Structure 1
């Protein structure tokens, strides 16, 4: 079913460990609720509570949940079956007809390519510090608890998280973000140009 699975003026030392290694951040547990036969709320037991992670171009992706309809259909646990299928065959960044809840552990110092999805995205920093970069060149530093609202714009993420060790050497560290991606109608830019998805170099397939 599923896969089991801070600052000083000191010099910066890059972490050269392979990004394909497991993130040192805590495991991700997700708790899914449902109803028993008497209609009482219970926790679903079809999925392990510890969510699996898989390596995608500089980070580790966790598909915390995913639907293929909006609004989602919860009756008869139809959405659970959909999620199970997406775990077996992961979607692109977006599901055009549904919702995606994804957690990404971003490797030390990693910067992803500029990209765009046809979606409304809520991004929350859970651990570390992330630089949000727009194609205009504007940037914002996002710290733990900060939220970004991506409205179909071209952007990139850079992990700028560092810590200082006992020798006063600054080292780059992993960061973690939570993303919720929701479907939108087609996006029209300046001059009526239709803005489509752009994910080249992201290490993911095109969204359906």
Structure 2
């Protein structure tokens, strides 16, 4: 029998997120993990954005096994550490990040680049994707961007000044080299420190 939904509406008017993690019982049957609550833990980055670090992994392939029988699986243990002390930055070296971002109305983030390939899906509202070349695209609910370690920014252009939400999956990548120039991570307003530019 399905458990009742406990999702609520956040102060920004968007529905809260539940994140369900699966596991295995001693018979090898799939079950829902009880190690981490389903309720989202939102972090206010600035008045312009809220983050929910929904999952992280380290290493490839990911180790899903428990160190010993009855212990918390290795990947869940590592995620618990990241939940308590969020990584400084957006992507993880030799890892993956699943993150939800709520964008405040009419706000634009700083230009930035991560050493990762990112899959960004619009869940609510409309956002403008701006590239450092000057090219732009409007993304609406259900649209996806494959962000390949390029300099970019996001602007919430939702009608009626509503909040927007995206879900991102970031997978670490090699540094991009173009014309002999190495294009590494560029985060002017780091999550864990530094002075943000524009609204972030």
Give the TM-score category using the shorter length: 0.7 to 0.9
1:201 is the counterpart of 2:189: yes
Instruction: Provide the residue aligned with 2:33 in structure 1.
Output: 44
1:165-180 pair list within 5 angstroms: 172-180=161-169
Between 1:116-125 and 1:67-76, the stretch displaced more is 67-76
Could you give the per-residue CA deviations for residues 80-117 of structure 1, whole angstroms, max 9, x where no partner exists?
A: 00110000011120011110000001111110000000
Secondary structure of the residue that 1:75 maps to in structure 2?
coil
1:135 is the counterpart of 2:123: no
Could you give the per-residue CA deviations for residues 113-134 of structure 1, whole angstroms, max 9, x where no partner exists?
A: 0000011000000000000000
1:109 is the counterpart of 2:106: yes
Runs ≥4 residues deviating over 4 A: none
Q: Hey, what's the Cα distance between the residues in 1 that align with 2:171 and 2:193? A: 18
TM-superposed CA distance for 1:36, in Å, is: 1.1
Please say if residues 156 and 163 of structure 2, whose CA atoms lie closer than 8 Å, have aligned partners that are also in contact: yes
TM score, norm. by length of structure 2: 0.85
Aligned length in residues: 177
TM score, norm. by length of structure 1: 0.82
Could you give the per-residue CA deviations for residues 134-181 of structure 1, whole angstroms, max 9, x where no partner exists?
A: 000000000000000111100000000023xxxxxxxx1100000000
Residue of 85, 100, 108 corresponding to 1:89? 85
Q: 1:74 to 1:205 in 2, by over 3 A?
A: farther
Please say if residues 120 and 184 of structure 1, whose CA atoms lie closer than 8 Å, have aligned partners that are also in contact: yes
What 5-or-longer segments of structure 1 have no aligned partner? Answer: 1-20, 164-171
Secondary structure of the residue that 1:67 maps to in structure 2?
strand
Instruction: Provide the residue aligned with 1:64 in structure 2.
Output: 54
TM-superposed CA distance for 1:202, in Å, is: 4.8
Instruction: Provide the residue aligned with 1:144 in structure 2.
Output: 141
- Greater relative contact order, per chain length (Cα 8 Å cut-off, separation 6+): 1
Secondary structure of the residue that 2:37 maps to in structure 1?
coil
Instruction: Provide the residue aligned with 1:75 in structure 2.
Output: 65
Could you give the per-residue CA deviations for residues 18-71 of structure 1, whole angstroms, max 9, x where no partner exists?
A: xxx942201110110000122111000111111110101311100111011122
